Amino acid sequence: MKTGVIIGKFYPPHAGHKYLIETALAQVDDLTVIVCAHPRQTVSGELRAEWLREIHPGLQVVTTPDDLPDEPLSWGRRTIEILGRAPDIVFTSEEYGHGYAAAMGCAHCLVDLDRITVPIRATAIRNDPVANWTFLEPCVRSYCTKRIVLVGVESTGKTTLAEQLAREFHAEWVPEYGREYCLTKTGEWHTDEFVHIAGEQQRREEIAARQSKGILICDTNAFATGVWHERYMGYRSSEVDAIGRKDRVDLYLLAMPDFPFVQDGTRDGENIRDWMQERFEARMRETTTPFIRLKGSRERRLSDALSAIRGLPSSPFGPA
């Protein structure tokens, strides 16, 4: 059985890595990919490993601390420790590959060193993911997508603004599932319904993020569902809040209730708008996610939202 190994940061995985791995898989019976992870990197090694397993189902991926000098002998010894033996062949797209293979006494296959077949490097993606979107798989695109979430009480123009923002950025947007659910709702509310709403909202958001072009507009999210549970049930739900803590958000847009209340046939919160607004404000302060308050005319809200979104960092990646 011929064994092979690939080692790297995969920060993040991209089409060049995919080509390298597919080239190796075609030549060996058993391939191990080693992901080197450093604490200063903003994406954990395990998440990068999960991405690789999704992109290449069945691939054997392990992580190791990126704590050795950049020289072949140390990494050769580390690789043998991980594998339990020296591999038969190493696959790289880097100059260090020959020395790394020699340190383990194995063959070396150099793949697309000059990036002619797949003209991309991870540095370019870290600097500007959107400009290099075509080189990313859906799971990585989801992570790189800027997620903008509108929250607030009823009748504050959130849905209208979400649609406007989506048009401005030619972006995907995710409607409020809870509103859809309410159209068929009868009887009293129960916690399990909010658990379902939060989970479904999050599921739809993830699907949209994978299809996005870099920006995703969300008309509420699972985190906000916790406030609605509190409004109807009178207490917080640990189950709903646990789902909400999984939300990834780059910016919250908190719509202020300075619009006249408009009854659309489903709304019932006119008399508690101030209380609900206080709860949303409190929840916003509990997060570390930036948020801005939107108030005034529709034109002013749109302008303020556009400015805030355009001011967000271009990349979620930190140092390599």
CATH architecture of 145-310: 3-Layer(aba) Sandwich (3.40)
Please give the model's pTM, rounded to 2 decimal places: 0.91
Segments of 154-276 assigned E as strands: 172-174, 215-219, 251-255
CA 48/CA 61 separation, integer angstroms: 10
* pLDDT reported for residue 274: 82
CA 141/CA 55 separation, integer angstroms: 12
* pLDDT reported for residue 260: 64
Strand order in the sheet with 60-65: 60-65, 30-37, 3-8, 89-92, 107-110
Q: Which of 161, 147, 142, 287 is nearest to 218 (CA)?
A: 147
* pLDDT reported for residue 35: 98
Query: Which residues in the chain land under pLDDT 50?
Result: 263-264, 266-267, 269
Number of H helices, E strands in the chain: 13, 10
* pLDDT reported for residue 262: 53
**Tens-place pLDDT, residues 114-162:** 999 999 999 999 999 999 999 999 999 999 999 999 998 887 889 999 9
78 contacts 37 by C-beta, under 8 angstroms: no
Please state the domain extents for the chain.
3-132, 145-310
Give the Å distances, CA to CA, from 94 to 12, 83, 90, 99, 319: 16, 21, 11, 10, 20
Query: Which strand (E) or helix (H) includes residue 233?
Result: helix 222-233
* pLDDT reported for residue 270: 54
CATH of 3-132, one of 3.40.50.620, 3.40.980.10, 3.40.50.2000, 1.20.140.10: 3.40.50.620
**Tens-place pLDDT, residues 176-207:** 999 999 888 888 999 999 999 999 999 999 99
